[in-house]
Amino acid sequence: MATAEGVSLIPIVAAIIGIGVVSQILSDRFQIPSVVFLIAAGIALGPEMLGIVDPDVFGGALSDIVGLSVAVIVFEGAFHLRIEKLREAPAVTLRLVTVGAAIALVGTAVAVHFLLGVEWLVSFLIGALLVATGPTVIAPILEVVPARDRVEAALETEGIVNDVTAAILAVVIFEAILAQEAGASIFVALFAERLGIGMLVGVVVGAVVYYLLRYVDLSPGNAPQNARLLVLAGALVAYGAADAIATEAGIAAVATAGVILGNLDVPYEQDIEEFKGDITLVVLSFVFIALAALLQFSTLIQLGLGGILLVVVVAVVIRPLLVFVSCLGDRFSRGEKLFMSFVGPRGIIPASVATLFAIQLRAQGLTAAADLLVGTVFLVILMTVVFEGGFARQIAEYLDVIPMRVLVIGGGKVGRTLAERLEDRGENVVLIEEDIETVETARNAGFTVHHGDATATDVLRSAGAEKSKVVVAATGDDDVNLLVAQLSNSKFAPETILARVNNPSNVEAFEELGVRTISTTLATAQALDNYIERPAMMNWMSEIGQSGDVQEVELTADELIGMTIEEITNQLPSGVLVALVARDGNARVPPDDFTVEHGDRVTVIGERADVREAMSFVHPDG
């Protein structure tokens, strides 16, 4: 196959696909978003360097190819937009995709207009595109940074929702640019027309595909493959049909079809997801390399200082502003807000839709606008992905937002009280509860709750058991707690498994599994006895986590190795004492001349703020 100029497309397409696969492998290997490698490859292969990939060789077909690629990408994102996940996500997520998105749109448009001297319509087009972060750049970051579930849920949901809404909003503004018209009435009419037609087509296609998947025999011998192909065909048909009715309505159509199919119980769902992932990899490779090949170095140079300032304003001013506004009144800590503020790289949708628009603008003779669009979007993507994506781990460590993950089975009063105390110390707690009323109560209190039966392996896994260091079985049913302990130990092997034992006669069964137990009967009796014999200590203990605190931490600070307890105490905040030192499983109250070793577990006691400072001193990499 060759172009009109006689250049064969086969080597070019093969190179793009090969580079896409290699980029994905490198992304998995180094835990860096694949967009970094794809853009670098596009620049290297493009006209500005090697000249191997030139968008002109595709002729007039490039716009259509990129359009279909965008359709697959948007469908993929919409398919993962689960209503259940939106319910589980904290309330701040809703504000991120509404108030936050509005701040990003207006703020970015204003910055583009004044820093780059661009007309308002083009400024708002760029602003609309740069609203989106996207799961394909967020997911690799969250693999490297195991943040709290509420942070992950907010960032992931924001990326998925804003991918779709930003694409539709950008289409509306783009249509206004091509029509060379402005005004609220024009925007409302265009938005209603594109969104309405797209949603109608998407609903029809989604319903037809669902009916065929659910009620039609898709060849018993090869049903999974046929299901995958049917869903892919449905996405492309939705895009093509809507686009034929109203230009650029296709994005709304594939988004609607994707949301519908993603939230229905379709057969072979896992096969479909895996297949779509592979197809998306191919089209992503094409879109990013095509975008980079469209870029001219002279365009970036022309952006000059204004372009650099735009990136700074978008990343350091607008993003933190929208995050802090969206997080008002929620449980997010200051460190978590700052982490969400400085980890919001742009990716798939801005790149792919910008490529599509740039091609069409050039076809309309608006070359200057196309160059500005590609250059600005490319610069923001590259800078945010490299700095925010590449340094996400270091940012998280500096802000101390990587907690210990604790899985608590049972969202009743015991489970919620434990979760509250753990979260107050900065740990990442996920509750698992089967009773829907208890789930709603816990969620309304601000806890992260996974709805399901914890005695099922799949439920434990989906709640994050594989990443959990501690699993606590805290239900009122000993049989459930014992089964959870067995499953956790055999399937996931967390560092610690704790279980609540309601009947003291069952303690032995748990201990035979090596599970640490807390007998509610014995614990209550011991607490009452302590209040009788040691009232001062118990009164102080009741204040733990509020004014006073007791914490155990591993000693890892190199400068403390070989020191005596007296020497260490002199360097700790005033009023903090080293109460215990545990070594090789044996704990003791250390004398002043006791010498510590690397890996000793040190228990410190004192005022809460002082204890936290002491923990950082003893275990600086915690």
* Segments of the chain with pLDDT less than 70: 1-9, 28, 31-33, 35, 54-63, 81, 84-90, 135-136, 140, 143-144, 179-187, 190, 218, 220, 247-248, 275-277, 288, 290-295, 331, 425-426, 540-547, 621-622
Measured CA distances, 209 to 198, 324, 600 (Å): 16, 41, 60
405-533: CATH number:
3.40.50.720
Amino acid 1: pLDDT = 47
Amino acid 244: pLDDT = 86
Q: Specify burial of residue 104 (Cβ count, 10 A radius: 0-12, 13-18, 19+).
A: buried
For residue 557, give the nearest of 494, 613, 495, 496 by alpha carbon. 613
Q: Which CATH architecture has domain 11-172+275-399?
A: Up-down Bundle (1.20)
Q: Specify burial of residue 473 (Cβ count, 10 A radius: 0-12, 13-18, 19+).
A: buried
Amino acid 319: pLDDT = 93
For residue 127, give the nearest of 320, 318, 337 by alpha carbon. 318
Bridge partners of 581? 588, 602
Helix residue ranges per DSSP H, 131-222: 135-144, 149-179, 184-215
Amino acid 605: pLDDT = 86
Residue 99 DSSP one-character state = I
pTM for the full model?
0.62
Helix residue ranges per DSSP H, 506-564: 507-512, 520-533, 535-541
User: What is the rounded CA–CA span in Å between residue 84 and residue 292?
Assistant: 37
* Fold entry, domain 544-618: Alpha-Beta Plaits (3.30.70)
Strands across the sheet containing 577-583: 548-554, 601-607, 577-583, 586-588
First vs last C-alpha separation in the chain:
58
Tokens of 277: 């992932």
Amino acid 72: pLDDT = 80
Cβ atoms within 10 Å of 80's Cβ, excluding its own = 19
Amino acid 182: pLDDT = 57
Residue 476 DSSP one-character state = S
Strands across the sheet containing 516-519: 449-451, 428-433, 405-409, 470-473, 496-501, 516-519
Boundaries of every domain in the chain: 11-172+275-399, 405-533, 544-618
